[in-house]
Amino acid sequence: MRKFLKIAIILVLTPILAIAMYFLFLWVTYIDETVAQGTKYGFTVGASVEKTYEDILLVKKKHPELMIYISYGNRAGDNMTVPPTKDNFDIALKSSHWELLLDGEGEFFNIIRLSAEGNTVTEIYRHRKYFELP
């Protein structure tokens, strides 16, 4: 009887522990942070957009799937995704917000958003989650 009880406890606790560890992993890896001064993720608040675009090209080496999501207006058709190349710098300049999709086109769960006013980066926003909220 005692052996049966131990096996039953193990069979009950193992899935509970696995589920708890999964939720702990999701909580530990979740990032939602805004930087208004200083340097973070390879970018610097106060840097020129030209320097920041060069930094994007360096970040692309670590994240080869990286794409830049650019919004031109409020309509659904006013958005586009471009690869970060030197040739696309003029296209990227048309927007004051660059969303770096680190996992590739259409993947919004792992991003860095760079906001600029004039020729200067004013904010770095980082968002990462490995789950979808309802």
pLDDT in tens, 15-65: 999 999 998 988 888 899 999 999 999 999 999 999 999 999 999 999 999
For residue 107, what pLDDT band results from cuts at 50, 70 and 90? confident
Distances (CA, A) of 72 to 9, 91, 103, 106, 120: 58, 10, 22, 17, 18
59, two tokens: 């970040």
The answer to the question of residue 10 being in a domain is no
The answer to the question of residue 8 being in a domain is no
The answer to the question of residue 2 being in a domain is no
Q: How far apart are the first and last CA of the chain?
A: 44
For residue 133, what pLDDT band results from cuts at 50, 70 and 90? low
pLDDT value, residue 123: 97
Whether pTM > 0.75 for this model: the answer is: yes
Q: Domain limits at 109?
A: 33-128
The answer to the question of residue 3 being in a domain is no
Contact indicator for 109, 103 with CB cutoff of 8 Å = yes
